Amino acid sequence: MINSQSIRLLPQPPSPPPSSPRLPRYSRADKPPRFVVTERDILILGDILRMRYLDREQVQRLHFGAGSASACKRRLTLLYHGRYVDRMLVQETTPGGSPRALYCLDRRGAQLLATLQGSSISRLDWRRQDNDKETFFLAHTRDCNDVWIGFIESCRQRGWSLSWTNERELRRTLTGKRLPDPAGRRPSLLVIPDGHFQVDDGAGRYSFALELDRGTVEEKRVREKVRGYGEWLVSGAYRDRYGDDSLRVLFVVSGREPRGRVQRLKSWCEEEGGRSLFWFAEKDAFDRSDPLRDPIWTVAGSTGRESLLTGTRVPSRISSRRLPAVR
């Protein structure tokens, strides 16, 4: 993993100021400007490797902070023209809106990260062909990364640690570990979250699975997910994998009419026996809030909105009466 402790670079001179001729907007320059790769550039490349696609606002939140949009844009422009990152232009849903640039790792950036890790590019979790994805995949990944970054910021404010496993790694480790369907409607169920993460506040650890819902998954599949998560916990498979059975499944809903979608998801979950294991939030509210402390979450089996973490710790073991009923 690339972090500030793993990087040992010589003192770097400042990057040259912008100069003419002006760089092309939608293609790479034939003669890219010279610049020195900084420690922060390395960290940006490491995050792009882990998160796959990041837009300028996301990179700014991670590495620059408010009021640094121009500096962030400048570094990404240099990395793009220097072929450390590639760029996908995605048209916004608003008619007439400018395309949004999503940055992904390019070969020179991948080679640099591999070299810093004392490895080879073939052993890095990166393939050039993975950069070419459909618009829906890019939008889903960007929304997942918004949630990931929201929790990073919340933990950073408190000095807490956050450990995150993305869907790509979860798919490698969980594919093939199928679970029996407690309702008997399918031969087996497979649970692969969009992300799994653990927050450690120094006194204990909180575990969460993310389901990023854009309103496209049909009801039948959602119900299967609910039963699968319940069986994952009840069967002991979750404890075997992560060493505890404290878990909350977070549905973060984006797309059109997220409020109505939250209500439908909650209803389907409750009809399958799901209760306090399942929490729901609209992504717009999530983006404006502190996801750990603000009361933005609706909980299956309850009314009103609650905070994800309150003054009372999440129990290290969840009693069977709080788990989804197996019917």
Predicted local distance difference test score (pLDDT) of residue 89: 84
Q: Can you give the pLDDT of all 327 residues of the chain as single tens digits?
A: 555 444 444 444 455 555 556 787 767 888 888 999 999 999 999 999 999 999 999 999 999 988 899 999 999 999 999 999 999 888 766 556 678 899 999 999 999 999 999 999 989 988 887 777 777 788 899 999 999 999 999 999 999 999 999 999 999 999 989 999 999 999 999 999 999 999 999 998 999 999 999 999 999 999 999 999 999 999 999 999 998 888 999 999 998 899 999 999 999 999 999 889 999 999 999 999 999 999 999 999 999 999 998 743 333 333 333 334 332
CB neighbourhood size of 271 (10 A) = 13
CATH of 4-133, one of 1.10.10.2520, 3.40.50.300, 1.10.10.10, 1.10.357.10: 1.10.10.10
Residues 193 and 213 sit within 8 Å (Cβ to Cβ): no
Predicted local distance difference test score (pLDDT) of residue 65: 87
Q: Which residue has the tokens 């950073």?
A: 156
Burial classification of residue 37, based on how many CB atoms lie within 10 Å of its CB (0-12 exposed, 13-18 middle, 19 or more buried): buried
Q: Ramachandran region of residue 166, left (φ > 0), alpha (ψ -120 to 50) or beta?
A: beta
Note the pTM of the prediction, 2 decimals: 0.85
Question: Which residues are registered as beta bridge partners of 165?
Answer: 196
CA distance 297 to 207: 16
Question: What does the domain layout of the chain look like in residue ranges?
Answer: 4-133, 139-322
Residues 54 and 47 sit within 8 Å (Cβ to Cβ): yes
Give Cα separations from 321 to 118, 179, 211, 234 (angstroms): 50, 20, 23, 11
Residues 6+ apart with CB under 8 A from 175: 190, 192
* Tokens of residue 167, six digits: 């869907």
CA angle 217, 227, 201 (to 5 degrees): 90
Of 287, 307, 291, the closest CA to residue 299 belongs to 307
